[in-house]
Amino acid sequence: MNLIIKNGRVVDPSQNIDEKLDIIVENGKISKIGKKLKADGYKEIEAKGLIVFPGFIDMHTHLREPGYEYKEDIKSGSEAAAAGGITSVACMANTDPINDNEGVTSYIIEKAKDVTKVNVFPIGAVSKGMKGEELVEMGYIAEAGAVGFSDDGYPVRSSLVLRRALEYQKIVNKIIIEHAEDLELSENGVANESPLTYKLGLKGIPSASETVIIARDIEILRQVGGKIHFAHVSSVWSVELIENAKRNGLNVTAEVTPHHLLLNESYVETFSPLYKMKPPLRSEEDRVALVEGLKKGVIDVIATDHAPHTEDEKELEFGFAPFGVVGLETVVGLIFDRIVMSGIISMQRFAEVMSKNPAKILGLNNKGSLEVGKDADITIIDPEKKVVIDPNKFKSKAKNTPFIGWEVKGWPVYTIVGGEIVMGIDK
Amino acid sequence: MFKRKHLLGIEGLTRDEIDHILDTAQSMVEVSKRSVKKVPALRGKTVVNLFFEPSTRTRISFELAAKRLSADLINFSGSSSSLVKGESFRDTVLNLEAMHPDIFVVRHSQSGSPYYLTTFSKSSVVNAGDGAHEHPTQALLDALTIRQHKGGLDNLKITIVGDILHSRVARSNIFLFSQYNTKVVLAGPPPLVPPEFKNLGVEIEYDLDKAVEGADVVVMLRIQRERQTGSYFPSLREYRKYFQLTTERLKRADKDAIIMHPGPINRGIELMKDIADSDRSVILNQVSNGIAVRMAVLYLISGGSNELNN
Amino acid sequence: MKVKAKVMDQRKISSTLKRLAMEVIERNRDLNNTAIVGIRTRGVIIGERILKLIEKLEGVKLNFGILDITLYRDDLSTIGPNPVVKGTEIDFDVTGKDIILVDDVLFSGRTVRAALDSIIDFGRPNTIQLLVLIDRGHRELPIHADYVGKTLPTSKREIVEVRLKEIDGSDEVLIVEEEGF
């Protein structure tokens, strides 16, 4: 589709732009960007009062297909993404069967082409069956379309396998994403290990279970080189480790979830499984350090770790409920309102962590930017739109959000992928 | 005055409320001593023992308490089931609730379950032990026992020994005594007595000799043999060496110190016969007081719910 | 609350109790087999006074018990938070004995019914006799007193207040009405 977006405030960190500009899209690419542009016959989007960003990318989601379609599938997950202003998602490999071969990778890519216009990029497992014993055929899987590798749901269990993956990365140049959790230290834990959970009689997941793996990975990286991305960082000590690693010149990046930026463990006193996830919500000190880390550049990306579960599954005793919360439909509004408009990070930084940086880490060279010639993936936000978060209105099959009832000002109103409007107020 | 619809835990109760429950319990003690051990106070009320974790003693205690108040009682034993294994907790409760019970007495392996129950049930809920979180009636019967022997709950030193980490009894006791002018000291192997407990206003002393010094009350907790495999302590032999309450150790406590234990006792591990069967041990008092306390709780809860229904 | 009338003063109460004590002695041949059980709270005080009077007159100290009828009330499900239980103390065997149940005011009769149920749970007395300081009528159950201090015709709206030195500071019986009637 050919489009012209007029009068919007365009924010693009890749070109250091933050001003009122018009954008023309032709054949799915950004073809022109400037002032007072004209394009007769093109579909016009009036963006006065709105903010125009390079399309947002959520590099950590669980779409549950194949195998767990009752929780979510590629179609409903992409619809959720589109509703939330997200133009590309990377989906993790802990499906059934696990995405540890090019067959499953191809299936996901083909299915996505059939059911959605949103970009869906599979992330393959690092080890076969995610057992942490043998490396997967990284080459074939990358060729089939995977943009990275992760055993997410689990850490890469063997230090040796991680080393091999990092060495192999020299010929399969895709990011390796670590879910940092030492399974022995976190055994049977359900919430952050702290005075609060000791009081509540809940088994704790100590911060050490995260930092132990981050430290391990950083040292292996130091030894053999490569690049590693740490998923859903949750502890102040993790931020410290990553900051040091970066200072030492190691190619380390990190992401944080909206719930870890906005919530802390005090919500767990309600014993509601809506606040149960891995890694767990930690102390206020941890939360503040994550926000600081995002601000300072220690943390590069915001990713939701969108983890759909059915209502029945989340309506269980706290100890028995599965871990995880959804996020695709709420991340943009929540972060825009509570982190950007509150003055914690700038509009440019927002675009960096939501678009430019994830694109770079995943090697999506034609995305994350509104430069002429790049893919026309665009997210447009109305900074005045007020929304009360209501899971009953979600496009996702799942309703498990900890932000139920939150009032937010600022919400995505257009999601454009390759020039196609996949979500729009006048669609 | 205790007027609540539920008793989910001790945390949050005021000293006034606790005193009221204890006073009521004291007056119930007499009922169990007569030949006709029954009063009609809860006649026509239905109490459901909802036990998702095996327990004979607490269940029997609640059963007798309900029956001595003339209530009707039914016992439901379920394995702590998750969705995969069978009927969910929620479904089980809703099904039972369709039979119009007045009070659910709940014991469950997961902390927070009684609280969760109140979010979808209309009946009153009494927590009979949820995971490692709280066991309010145990703390209350401990307090009643101490009160009977010491005249009150203030100005005492209470030492609690054992697996604090996994103990709901310890937590409820800590919450209860925080309402009184009383010093609580915790002792046990360090992996089972995390320093974070200091946040609750108690002291921690890993040397048992020091911990019992001058104590007015020593509460011995049961050490589960299974904890040994979690590497919480290397062996029962070592546990005995450092944490068994011996007659020698007891000499350091106050000369009128009483020994308590929530039961069941691991004879030879926490305690030896010389102490468990001595006249300093009030363990059997605790059991009788248990019934009185549970009668008091059921009585007060059924009155409280009326106020809310109005 | 408005005091409408003072129907008994200290002197009158004292002489009435003396008369009641003598009636009890007259009607119960074997005082060693007789016991006084006072209903909390003021029934207990009156019962103690009767006990002392009998001891002074006959030199016999009867068995004495305290009854808290809270757990036997028939109105527990309709009133608010359950009332405070203070406890029953009967440390003698009631079986075969002549029990003198003592209360301050006899009104609807429900308190006495509860007291009867409670005593019978303790055993099987030979007789239960009822002694009250005031009988104010308006019975709702077929209950009657064996020993009556004073019969007082009242309207249901009125409240009969018995005040006793031991807890209220003075001995008197008043008829009181709520303001606004």
DSSP state of A281: P
Q: What is the pTM of this model?
A: 0.86
Q: Transcribe C80-129 into DSSP letters.
A: SSPPPP---B--S--TT-EEEEEEEEESSSHHHHHHHHHHHHH---SEEE
B27 vs C87: CB contact, 8 Å cut-off?
A: yes
Give tens-digit pLDDT for A122-181.
999 999 999 999 999 999 999 999 999 999 999 999 999 999 999 999 999 999 999 999
Instruction: Using CB atoms, list chains with 3+ pairs below 8 Å to chain C.
Output: B
| CB-CB contact of A162 with A156 (8 Å) | yes
Q: Are A126 and A176 in contact (CB under 8 A)?
A: yes
Q: Give domain status of residue C2, yes or no.
A: no
Q: What contacts A78, CB < 8 A, 6 or more positions away?
A: A63, A89, A112, A115, A116, A117, A118, A120
DSSP A76-116: HHHHHHHHTTEEEEEE-S-SSS-S-SHHHHHHHHHHHHHH-
DSSP state of A202: P
The answer to ipTM > 0.90 is no
Asked if C62 contacts C30 with a C-beta cutoff of 8 angstroms, the reply is no
Give the range of the structural domain holding residue C56, as residue numbers without chain letter: 8-73+88-159
Residue A344 Cα distances to A112, A263, A292, A300, B110, angstroms: 36, 16, 9, 15, 39
For residue A14, what pLDDT band results from cuts at 50, 70 and 90? very high
Read off the DSSP letter of residue C130. E
**Helices B57-68 & B136-150 angle (0-180, nearest 10):** 70
Exposed / middle / buried, residue A268 (Cβ in 10 Å: 0-12, 13-18, 19+): buried
pLDDT at C130 over 90: yes
Q: What is the reported pLDDT for A1?
A: 80
**What local confidence, expressed as pLDDT, does residue B309 receive?**
32
Q: In sequence order, which residues have a C-beta less than 8 Å from that of residue B226 and are 6 or more positions away?
A: none
- Cβ–Cβ gap A200/B110 under 8 Å: no
CA distances from C29 to A110, C20, C167 (A): 106, 15, 33
- Specify the pLDDT at position C66: 96
The CATH number assigned to the domain holding C39 equals: 3.40.50.2020
Chains A and B touch (3+ CB pairs under 8 A): yes
pLDDT score recorded for residue B82? 46
Angle, alpha carbons B72-B76-B77 (nearest 5°)? 150
Task: Search chain B and give the residue with CA nearest A185.
Answer: B230
- Is A313 in the B-facing interface, judged by CB distances under 8 Å? yes
Region C107-124 average pLDDT: 93
Partners of residue A194 in chain B, C-beta under 8 Å: 196
The helix or strand, by DSSP H or E, that contains position A421, with its residue range, turns out to be strand A420-424
Residue B3: list chain C partners with CB under 8 A.
Answer: 81
Decide if B24 and C84 are in contact by the 8 Å CB cutoff. yes
**Phi then psi dihedrals of residue C125, to 5 deg:** -70, 160
Which chain A residues are within 8 Å of B111, Cβ to Cβ?
A: 200-202, 271, 318-319
Best residue of B110, B169, B197, B221 to probe chain A, by most A CBs closer than 10 Å: B110
Computed from CA positions of residues A399, A402, A405, A409, in that sequence, does the dihedral angle turn out positive or negative? negative
- The CATH number assigned to the domain with range B136-286 reads 3.40.50.1370
Query: Is residue C114, in this structure, part of any structural domain at all?
Result: yes
Q: Which residues of B touch C86 (CB under 8 A)?
A: 23, 27
Q: Do chains A and C touch (3 or more CB pairs under 8 A)?
A: no
Taking residue A363's Cβ as centre, other Cβ atoms within 10 Å add up to 14
Q: Is residue A228 helix, strand or coil?
A: strand
CB-CB under 8 Å, C68 with B300:
no
Same fold, B15-134+288-309 and B136-286: yes
Kindly identify which residue of chain A lies nearest to residue B172, measuring between CA atoms. Answer: A199
Residue with tokens 């690049």: A227
Touch between chain C and chain B: 3 or more Cβ pairs under 8 Å = yes
Residue type, A17: I
Q: What integer pLDDT is reported at residue A36 of this predicted model?
A: 93
Question: What order do you get walking across the sheet with A252-256 strand by strand?
Answer: A56-61, A86-91, A119-124, A148-150, A175-178, A228-230, A252-256, A301-302
Catalytic residue among A22, A100, A305, A377: A305
Q: What is the mean pLDDT of residues A255-268?
A: 98
Which CATH number among 3.40.390.10, 3.40.50.1370, 3.40.50.720, 3.40.640.10 corresponds to the domain B15-134+288-309?
A: 3.40.50.1370
In one-letter notation, the amino acid at residue A70 is Y
**Chain-chain contact of A201 with B116 (C-beta, under 8 angstroms):** no
Please give chain B's pLDDT, 310 residues, in tens: 898 999 999 999 999 999 999 999 999 998 888 888 999 899 989 999 999 988 889 999 999 999 999 999 999 887 654 444 678 888 889 999 998 999 999 999 999 999 999 999 999 999 999 999 999 999 999 999 999 999 999 999 999 999 999 999 999 999 999 999 999 999 999 999 999 999 999 999 999 999 999 999 999 999 877 666 678 888 888 888 999 999 999 999 999 999 999 988 888 888 888 888 899 999 999 999 999 999 999 999 998 433 333 3
Q: Do B112 and A202 touch (CB under 8 A)?
A: yes
B262 residue type, one letter: P
* Burial status of residue B183 (CB atoms within 10 A of its CB: 0-12, 13-18, 19 or more): middle
CA angle A88, A143, A364 (to 5 degrees): 30
User: Cβ contact (<8 Å) for A271 and B109?
Assistant: no
**Known catalytic residue: A305?**
yes
Q: Does residue C175 fall inside a structural domain?
A: no
Residue of B nearest to A200 (CA): B133
Tell me the chain C residues in contact with residue B32 when contact means C-beta distances shorter than 8 Å. Answer: none
Domains of chain A, CATH where assigned: 3-51+376-389+403-424 (2.30.40.10), 55-361 (3.20.20.140)
How confident is residue C80, by pLDDT bands cut at 50, 70 and 90?
low
User: Quick check: C68 and B302 CB within 8 A?
Assistant: no
- Whether A194 and chain B come into contact, CB under 8 Å, resolves to yes
Structural domain total, chain C: 1
Per-domain residue ranges of chain B: 15-134+288-309, 136-286
Mean pLDDT computed over A30-37 = 95
